[in-house]
Amino acid sequence: MPVNQNEVLEAYAGLEGRELVRAFGRDFKGRIALLSSFGAESSVLLHMLAEVDRTIPVIFLDTLKLFPETIAYRDQLVRELGLRDVRVVQPNIADLESDDPAGTLHRANPDWCCNIRKTLPMEKAFKSFDVMISGRKRFHGASRAELKHIGFDDKRIKIEPLAAFTALDLHGYMVKHQLPSHPLKLAGYHSIGCAPESCTSKSGSADNPREGRWMGKEKSECGIHFTANGKIIRTAARGERQLESAVA
């Protein structure tokens, strides 16, 4: 999808939050979708989307290793927000049978596990969309610290309506709009991904929620996002295979 990046940046300059979603939802109707984990902070962006246009597709990556509480929370938010087009995307069964028959790949090679359970299904799901709405924030730190509201790669535009939101902003929004919390957040989890303890733990805080992800590993992203400069965020795979060869 070739676009004039300067024209896009100029057209949507100064917009964030709900207004950024509204503008892109209007101008890219039918070509825009939101990627959501239905995790600890997901209700804010999903609420904004529902206020703008409940028919905008929401892509939910079910890795088949999620907490049951996440599935229940998804169903609750879909019902309460009136979301009309939530698409559940799962990994290719042949990939799982070939690369993770015992379901333990997350221990030996978490990067490869994320690749087959998240990256590849996500890329397939977004093939027909020109714009992805993502819920990342700068206060998460690491590669997200310099996050821009609008990013580009050779496939699509990616907008980050909540880039400048703080933990306090998120809390205030949830209270104001009476949004339900993820059940596991109430149990002490601040960032919620897949259920294995090596993927998600109770470590972290409101201001540093992702500390509890992949504890003890040199890994901070699962590989489904690209940065503001258009490069894919993906930790190099450890083991016999390399992620680059998998997506070539």
Catalytic sites, residue numbers: 222
CB atoms within 10 A of CB 128: 10
Rounded Cα–Cα distance for residues 120 and 91 (Å)? 8
Give the residue among 34, 32, 65, 37 at the shortest CA–CA distance from 48.
34
Q: How many degrees, rounded to 5, is the angle at CA 80 between CA 206 and CA 157?
A: 65
CA distance 95 to 107: 17
Residues 6+ apart with CB under 8 A from 240: none
End-to-end CA distance of the chain: 19
Gap between the Cα atoms of 101 and 221, Å rounded: 24
Provide the CB-side half-sphere exposure for 161 (13 A, CA).
Answer: 26
Contact 58, 36 (CB under 8 A): yes
